[in-house]
Structure formats: C-alpha cells, structure tokens
A = this chain, B = another copy of it.
Amino acid sequence: MIDASPIAERFGPRLLTRPAALAAYAQSEGHHCYPPPALAVQPESIEEVQALVRFATAQGLSVIGYGAGTSLEGNAAPVGANCLIVDFARMNRIVAVHPEDLLCVVEPGVTREQLNTDLRATGLFFPVDPGANASIGGMISTRASGTTTVHYGSVRDNVLALKVVGADGELITTGGHARKSAAGYDLTHLFTGAEGTLGLVVEASLRLHGQPEHILAATWDFGSVGGAVDTVIATIQSGVPIARMELLDEVAIRACNAQSALGLVERPTLFLEFHGSEAAVRDQLELVRAIGAGGGGGSLDFASDTDSRNRLWRARHQMLWATRAMVAGGVTWTTDVCVPISHLADAIGRAKAAIEDAGLFAPVLGHVGDGNFHVIFALHPDDTESWDKARQVNAAMVDHALSVGGTCTGEHGIGLGKREALLREHGAPAIAAMRRIKQALDPLGLFNPGKIFLDDAAIDDRQRA
C-alpha cells in the first residue's frame, strides 16, 4: 500500500488515485496490455516534478513520464508494482518563442499541433510530424520522426537542448541556444530516445523552420509497389530535397478511402510534398516526374490549395483508425522497421508476401524516403492464431532489416515490444555500455522500468505480443 499523504495536499485533485482515472494510463494506441499505475500525478512545474521524483524515491515507487498516450510499443506502460505516472498534461505551456533565432522553448506536454497552431503568425513551424498528435516530451523520449523527416530531419535533428529531472531530483540542463556546440558530452542526444529511462524531460528547446514560400502536394498511383518504391529510391539517390515522400500500398488506400472518402484509385500510391521557391518546387517536380515515369507512375493529382492538402495529410494520419475500422471489433498492432534505402523494395516486397501468405489484413505504409515503413496488423483480440502469424511476420521483418544493416525500429522506439530485437541489433558490448549508463544515471532503477532492456526485474509478461 502506497502512502500518498506526503503529496496529497500539494497536488489536491491533480493526484489521481481512483481506479477509473488510473485506467486511462493502461491505454495507448499500441497493442500491448498492461495494468494501470498505482498513482498518477499531474504536475504544473519543474519543481513539482522534482518533488515527485524525491517522493517516489522515498516510497520505493518507480516513475514513468506520460504525454499524449500515442506511443505504440508500450513505451509508457506501468509494468511492475508501484508505478507513479507523471502525467505532463498540465505542463503544456509554450515558454518562449524566439523567431529571431528560429527556436522555441516548450514544456513536455505541448502537442505538436498545439505548437504549430501557436507558431502560425510567426511564419515558422516545427516540422517533425509522426502522424499522431503526440506530445513533444513523448516525441523526444522515443526519438520520433515521421512524414517530413526526409527533408527536415527527426526530433533528434530538431532538439537543441533539454531540461531533465534526474534520479536525485536534480535539474540537468543539457545545452543552450546556439545552433551547434562542441562543449562536452552530448547529453541532449543521450536523453533523446532514452524513453524516459534516464530521467524526465521537463523542458525542451526546439529548432524551428521557416514556413516554405511555396508548397505543392500530390498523390501518384503506381501499377506495383515495386515501381513506387523504385521511384522513391531513385529520388533519394538523386538528392532531390523532397519534403515528404510517403507510400501507402493498395490495402492502405482501400482503408483510407473507406475512412476518408478520398476516392483514390486503389493502387499503391505515393503521397508527395515539395517545399521551396516556386522555381525550386517546379525543378524538383520535373525531376521526380521523370524518375517515376520509368517506374510505371500513373496520374499525378495535385493538391495545391491548403484545404485539399490538409485533407490529404489528415487521411494519411488517420491510417491507424482507418485500418482498425476495416476489421469489426479489431485492434491494431503497428510495427516499424527501417532499412538502408537500396534495400527498401526488397524489404517491403518480403513483408507484403509474408502478410499475404499469413492471410492477414495489414496495410503497408511508411516514410519511405527514409527507408522506414510500417505494417499495421488489424486483428481480433481473441484470434490467437492470427496473433501468432502477425508475430511471425513481425519477426521476419525485423530479421530481414537487421540482416541488411537496418534497424528494428525507425521511430516507435523499443518500449516493451522490441527488447529482444534490440539485443540482436546492437550486440552485447553496446548493450553492456547502455546498461552501464543506465546504472550510472539511475542506480536505483527509478525511471520507466521494464523498457528497452529485456531482463529487468520489473518486466510484466502480460503484453499481448
């Protein structure tokens, strides 16, 4: 039994103990199943987060940061006993915007859509777009990327500095506001992608980019996935600075049409976006058009006004729900690998063949300009045979990605689901180095137990896959 009385007065109704309220933290957009936490608290300041870390240490609780709940691999799952969720919902202030330095400072609970709405009048934007309206803290913790990463980079490339509450409750400032620095160990990028296992991100300084002078979006259907992917590969190899280059296979387009009534031809389709001066966009488009003609590209349908462009990307972003809706009573399991670009066609071809052999409903889609793609399995919760098949497809995808020098996750992180794959990807010496870092910065194992490393004491085996 946890004694919450030391923090009850300070946090009042922001201390959540009722089962109905706590149940929300056992939910995510992923497929893992896990229990609710013992407690959840919604701090409003860095000082309150520090107080919570000290309280947790005193009570022997573990501490898990929670943002928008959009992670896919159980990255914020309260596995193990006595978890305290630190929910950043109320730390969602935009602390400062410095348009003259192309940067802003935000609290971790700010969502990317909130940030870009706030920035609109400045002529700047934060480009990282994982699809979901994730929190910035969560995006940093999972090293998120997304549709625009091919041009603007991932979160890693757009985080300048962090404030992190460490295991002693101390506040670590990892950097300043210069665009680059060679001063000491790169703590910013150590905490970025650490999934909250080394500390809690409580503030972030982010790079902003100028809204492009001209934007042109288009959809482009192909006779085969291979032709579409070959077009992507050749575009990247040619160095065209395309802003977005997304693949949706014919299964994804079918789900997309059903959900969003876009009326797209049900063929493998590239969603493209070009940013730049009018002349630069025209040059890029002509290059890509010439490349795609050789790959069997059909009609390029442009969405040049803001409304139709937004409709297009909203449809892309709703793929998860669109897929879920295709299987009555179904849930989804989204997996994610990333391969060197020259291996992409083969990797996607193998994944599609495996899905078909298994008889599963599972669209293939992704940020193919990065060599990154996802499979969204739509499954009945009780259909154990299909879950087993999905497990096999996922394992084969990871095996193939690793065999060609790729990674078991391009952007979703390790969480609960990819821990065994992480071991194989990095090998024992790298994992040993990671463990030594974890031990050095979090000797009591306070932060987000059971994630990233496979044999942590706190592992709960109840995840579905």
Binding site for B on A (CB under 8 A): 98-103, 142-145, 149, 153-154, 156-157, 166, 170-187, 189-190, 192-194, 198, 209-210, 212, 233, 236-239, 241, 276-277, 279-280, 282-284, 338-342, 370-372, 401-402, 404-414, 418, 421-422, 425-427, 429-434, 436-441, 452
Supposing A102-B236, A186-B143, A440-B439 touch, asked if A407 and B175 sit within 8 A by C-beta, the answer is yes
A197 and chain B: residue at smallest CB distance:
B185
Question: Quick check: B437 and A156 within 8 Å, CB to CB?
Answer: no
Can you list 25 A-B contacts with CB-CB less than 8 angstroms, sorted by A residue number? A100-B233, A100-B341, A170-B432, A172-B433, A173-B429, A176-B402, A176-B406, A177-B405, A178-B338, A178-B372, A178-B401, A178-B405, A178-B407, A179-B372, A183-B407, A183-B414, A184-B414, A187-B434, A210-B238, A212-B239, A276-B280, A277-B283, A279-B280, A279-B283, A437-B440
Question: Quick check: B209 and A149 within 8 Å, CB to CB?
Answer: no
Chain B residues positioned under 8 Å from A241 (CB to CB): 241
Q: A180-B372, A183-B422, A186-B193 are in contact. List 18 more A-B contacts (CB 8 A).
A: A100-B341, A143-B186, A144-B182, A177-B404, A178-B340, A178-B370, A178-B405, A179-B372, A180-B370, A182-B407, A182-B409, A183-B408, A183-B413, A185-B437, A209-B239, A276-B280, A437-B440, A439-B440
Chain B residues positioned under 8 Å from A183 (CB to CB): 407-409, 413-414, 418, 421-422, 425-426
| Min CB–CB distance A136 → chain B (angstroms) | 16
Chain B residues positioned under 8 Å from A209 (CB to CB): 239
| Min CB–CB distance A116 → chain B (angstroms) | 16
